[in-house]
Amino acid sequence: MSGTPDAPLRVLFCIGVNQNFFDLPTGQHKTVWDGTVTMLEQLHALPGVEVLGTMDDDQHMVGPSDSWPWTCYVLADVVDQRTVADACNLFRAVQVGEYGLWRYMKIEARIGRPLPDVTR
């Protein structure tokens, strides 16, 4: 089953916290959190992105996440692959001190389409 040509892409942004975050001295982690909030605000404001939901599992997962299971997820409808790349690029663009957010976190995007709505 294929989507309509103008249907948005369903994207799961998978976000992992890496070892550099955990290597920060006590008290400096808030700057990364502030950068994460900035990234999420810019993601929500990115033209062609409709955030459908988020999930953060930092209470049950402690330590770096280099792959599944990820630390947090953002599910969104995105207009095209260029915009998916722009969303991922926010990890390069958002600054945390003298570094980009990517120094402390990584992102991968899984692109697909919605399943049929069987609740109707």
Residue 2: pLDDT over 70: no
H or E element, residue 15: strand 9-17
pTM of the shown model: 0.89
Count of beta carbons in the 10 Å neighbourhood of residue 115: 8
Question: pLDDT class for 90, splitting at 50, 70, 90?
Answer: very high
Identify the pLDDT of residue 1: 41
Residue 53: pLDDT over 60: yes
Identify the pLDDT of residue 58: 73
Task: Give the list of residues 6+ apart from residue 100 with CB closer than 8 angstroms, or none.
Answer: 91, 92, 93, 94
The arithmetic mean of pLDDT across residues 21-49, rounded, is 96
The arithmetic mean of pLDDT across residues 15-39, rounded, is 95
Residue 5: pLDDT over 70: no
Residue 34: pLDDT over 90: yes
Identify the pLDDT of residue 117: 79
